[in-house]
Amino acid sequence: MSGHSKWANIKHKKGKADAARGQITTKIGREITIAVRMGGPDPTGNMKLKLALSKAKANNVPKDNIQRAIQKGQGAADASNYEEITYEGYGPAGVAVMVSTLTDNRNRTAADVRHVFSKYGGNMGETGCVNWMFKRKGVFSIDSEAGYTEDDLMLIALEAGAEDVKAEEEGFEIVTEPEDFDAVEKALADNNIEVMMSEIAMLPDTMAELSDEDVVKVRKMLEALEDLDDVQDVYTLSLIHCATGRLTKACLLSIIIRREHEEMLAIGIDPGTAICGFGLVEMVGNKLTPIHYGAVFTDKDMLPELRLKKIYDELSVLLDEYRPDVMSVEQLFFNRNVTTAISVGQARGVALLTAANRGIQITEFTPMQIKQAVVGYGGANKEQVTFMVQKLLNIRTKPKPDDVADALAVAICGLHTAATRRWQELK
């Protein structure tokens, strides 16, 4: 099964391998055999074989089985009878599904796949009906227990041509264009970075909004598809509707329903007309994870109204993409520089408006409250706050500009406060 999240996906595969080792080994062995038949036994020049061997490693396929599959591919005449066919269709609630198969009898395989679609309330469609919702990408999965940091991997992967490096709860996911796959793989190997799994997969770029009931239905259908002998991979949309009412990235086969008291995503805002810092921080249990942070910059030569519009537009994109549970901002205090205070107040109002338009809860805190939540001391200076932000979020490099670190601090304060309130409500 392919898709996000890779960690739970890998666990799913390994769990299924324990329960149905023979079927998993047979499928991967067949894939290796066909890959060798088509491109030779050297994985260096055979992408299909390289990916099949990676899949074998992730599923703990014995070396003897791998070797037999390679030998079979080198001399097997029957391998030429197999062909790769992708079926497309819609599952329960209209969820887009792509099914990658390797078959020596397309009539049998088509009938089997169509039966599963029908049994679980879906329907198989024409070629191309959902393909446009997915993009072909290279994916590398790296375990967090290996000791690498996001900054380490980002420096290596992006320099090698990777598209993105994503930090997840149990590791890191590096995404590349297929043509950059080899270069990124070499860079990781040159730096002795162990890869749990690598593959060329169809990653979704759209989302499906599902009820918990529909999630269960889709999950059953995908598992039934994967159990078919001829099916190699199943892809589906990566965004689903969870119990919290927010959309979260996850593979439907490895979905963890997020309960309100277990998980929360907050965006902290450090408002300003020239620089508006933002920081998205997720809390799962008592663990804090930085999701995305940065700043909106405006040119001093822009008209004031256009500067505010830019802030509104860019914050709107962030809120629509990440759907935070709460927006946290610092309360406004007037000092001697009234002009600056007015400018900050205008940017602050724009930020509040973006949240209000989307029904996002807003929390406000004094500077002392923020320092108390992050440092434990209300009189802490800016350097102390930044230092603790880095420690709490495991960020190696100091967030720049300072507005970004301040925004992350506000988000942390918002999460601690909201978590305390929810705990009190549950008592």
Asked if residue 94 belongs to a domain, the reply is no
Asked if residue 41 belongs to a domain, the reply is no
Tokens matching residue 274: 């020239």
With a CB cutoff of 8 Å and minimum separation 6, the contacts of 396 are 149, 151, 390
Alpha-carbon torsion (60, 62, 65, 71), positive or negative: positive
Looking at residue 46, its amino acid is N
> Which pLDDT tens digit goes with each residue over 291-330?
999 999 999 889 999 999 999 999 999 998 888 989 999 8
Q: Which CATH number belongs to the domain containing residue 286 in this structure?
A: 3.30.420.10
Residue 142: closest CA among 133, 153, 158: 153
pLDDT at 261: 37
Are 175 and 139 a contacting pair, CB within 8 Å? yes
Asked if residue 281 belongs to a domain, the reply is yes
**Active site residue ranges:** 270, 330, 403
Asked if residue 317 belongs to a domain, the reply is yes
Asked if residue 125 belongs to a domain, the reply is no
Output Rg (C-alpha) for the chain, integer angstroms. 25
pLDDT at 421: 61
Place of tokens 């703990």: 60
pLDDT at 404: 94
Place of tokens 């005449």: 77
Asked if residue 278 belongs to a domain, the reply is yes
Name the domain count of the chain: 1
pLDDT at 260: 35
**In terms of residue numbers, what domain contains 319?**
263-426
pLDDT at 109: 92
Residue 388: closest CA among 372, 374, 377, 368: 374
Regions of the chain with pLDDT less than 70: 1-23, 76-80, 169-170, 205-210, 212, 238-262, 333-340, 419-427
Helix (H) or strand (E) holding 398: none
> pTM to 2 decimals?
0.47
Asked if residue 364 belongs to a domain, the reply is yes
Residue 167: closest CA among 302, 290, 257: 290
> Running DSSP on this structure, what letter comes out for residue 193?
P
Residue 28: closest CA among 61, 77, 6: 61
Asked if residue 247 belongs to a domain, the reply is no
> Running DSSP on this structure, what letter comes out for residue 102?
E
Place of tokens 């030569």: 301
Q: How far apart are CA 241 and CA 246, in angstroms?
A: 6
Q: How far apart are CA 91 and CA 135, in angstroms?
A: 19
